[in-house]
Amino acid sequence: MTGRRDLEWAPGRQVPLITEGSGPIAVLLAHGAGAGQGHPFMAAMRARLAEAYSVTTFDYPYVAEGRRAPDRMATLVECHRVVAESVAAAADRLVLGGKSMGGRMASHLADTDAAARFFLGYPLVPIGKSEPRDTSHLDGIDAPLLFVQGGRDRLGPPEMIAPIVDRLDRASLVVVPDADHSFKVPKQTAIDEEEVLDRLATIVKEWLTAIGMAPG
């Protein structure tokens, strides 16, 4: 089952939502900075996770309004929060997840009651920078966290993510060998793109089951 709707997140401003699957647990999956919910990666992950859960994606305002540059963080977070509240209203429990920037915004929804959060390629190091972003806000999240990073992710090197995970009481890290920040793998690698997507979805579903959120 696939449903599409527009949501007014601010007076006179709407963003589109796509929902696939069903069930009492809702997963809200946010896109990265470079492309919206229609990107093949997002569509593939939505479809795979929807085999077990109700999964919703959405476009941030800059994508919905035809702009290329991401909105300011405050705008991204506010839009994300309104979408999360709407999705949560129709579910028993809400899981927040996202690719790159979308995951980082999900981590900043401090006032959202999410049962768990997962990050597909957490962008710890800004593009063109060498110093990592502040992650102290993660200490305030009272829910299980999952970081899934590519072994060749330059924006979120596993060796830089690992100490963050170690300091958090309820965090886990899974590394996908040979994958970059976009979870692309070299052509000579034994697995192809579809297998990587299958692996990512399996990692998330197995983690959700392990923390008590098996498909209903």
Condensed to tens digits (0 to 9), the pLDDT of residues 90-144 reads 999 999 999 999 999 999 998 889 999 999 999 999 999 989 999 999 999 999 9
In angstroms, rounded to a whole number, what is the distance separating the alpha carbons of residues 199 and 196? 5
pLDDT(67) > 70: yes
By C-alpha distance, which of 96, 123, 130 is closest to 180?
A: 123
60 pLDDT band, cuts 50/70/90, is very high
Distance CA 100, CA 34 (A): 10
* 3-state SS class at 86: helix
Does residue 1 have a pLDDT over 90?
A: no
pLDDT in the model for residue 116: 98
pLDDT at position 49 over 70: yes
Which residue in 95, 16, 82, 15 sits closest to 53, CA to CA?
Answer: 95
Beta bridge partner(s), residue 171 = 145
What's domain 2-210's superfamily in CATH? Alpha/Beta hydrolase fold, catalytic domain (3.40.50.1820)
Q: How confident is the model over 78-84, as a mean pLDDT?
A: 98
Percent of the chain at pLDDT > 90 equals: 93
Give the model confidence (pLDDT) of 157-201 as tens digits: 999 999 999 999 999 999 999 999 999 999 888 788 899 999 999
Nearest CA-CA partner of 196 in 210, 209, 205, 184? 184
Q: Token pair of 124, please?
A: 């710890």
- How confident is the model over 60-67, as a mean pLDDT? 98
For 158, residues 6+ apart whose C-beta sits below 8 A from its C-beta are 149, 151, 173, 175
The tokens describing 82, both together, are: 């309104």
What residue type is assigned to position 175 of the chain? V
Would you state the pLDDT for residue 168? 97
Q: Is the pTM of this model over 0.95?
A: yes
Nearest by Cα to 121 from 139, 136, 101: 101
Task: Look up tokens 């793998």; give the residue.
Answer: 185
